[in-house]
Structure 1
C-alpha cells in the first residue's frame, strides 16, 4: 500500500514580488502592513511576506474594489472573516468530539 506524503510548500515574496503578483501598488501593501492586515518579517531590511499574504491581499483588494470598503474597514472585515473561520473550525471539532462520545 502506497503511503501518502504531504509536503508543505510555502513561498515567500519581497514587497515588489507581492505587488507584482497581486497587481497592486507597494503603497497599498504598506498601508495594509501599517493597519496590521499583513505581517511581514524583515530580513536584512527587506520586507518578506509569506505566501498566505498573497491570498489575504487579494481578499483585501476585492473588498476595496467590489464593495468600496476603506482601509480600516478592510482590516475589520478580514479580522472578522478570520474569526468566523476559527469559530467554524472549533464547531467542527466539537461536533466530531460530541459525535464520537455517543458512538462509544
Structure 2
C-alpha cells in the first residue's frame, strides 16, 4: 500500500510523487513553464506536434524534452509566421537530422575502435 505524503496543506498522492521523480509534466505544468494556454498545448498534441511520454488514467504526461519542443514551436509560429503544417514538417526534418547525427557519431566511434 502506498502512503500519501503531505507537503504543507497540500496532500500529494504516490502517483504524483512518482511522476515528479520521473520528471514527467502534466499539460498544466507545461502551460505554466512555457507560458502557453493549456488548450494550445492540447491542440499541439492533437495534431501530433508533441507526444506524451506516458498516459495514466487518460491524462497525458510529458518528458522535459517537450519544453524545448514547445519553445521551438512557439518561435516558429511567432518569429517566422510558420503555420502548424509547416511546423510539423520542420520539426520532422529537425528530428531526422538529429537521428542522422546520432548515427554518424555512433558509426565514427565504431570506426575508431
Shared topology, TM-score over 0.5? yes
Q: Which residue of 1 aligns with 2:31?
A: 19
Residue 47 of structure 1 and its aligned partner are, at CA, apart by 2.2
Structure 1 residues 87 and 66: alpha-carbon distance in aligned structure 2, compared to 1, 3 A threshold: same
Written as runs of structure 1 = structure 2, the 5 A alignment for 1:26-65 is 26-40=38-52, 41-65=54-78
Q: Which residue of 1 aligns with 2:9?
A: none
For structure 2, which runs of at least 5 residues remain unmatched after alignment? 1-20
Q: Which residue of 2 aligns with 1:3?
A: none
Q: Which deviations, in whole Å up to 9, do the C-alpha atoms of 1:15-47 show, x marking residues without a partner?
A: 111111011111221121112121123222322
Any idea what SS the aligned residue of 2:62 has?
strand
The RMSD of aligned alpha carbons is: 1.6
Written as runs of structure 1 = structure 2, the 5 A alignment for 1:3-14 is 10-14=22-26
- Size of the aligned set, in residue pairs, is 92
TM-score of the superposition, structure 2-length normalised?
Answer: 0.72
C-alpha contact 1:10 1:51 (8 A) present in aligned 2: no
Q: Hey, which bits of structure 1, 4+ residues long, moved more than 3 A? A: none
For structure 1, which runs of at least 5 residues remain unmatched after alignment? 1-8
TM-score of the superposition, structure 1-length normalised?
Answer: 0.77
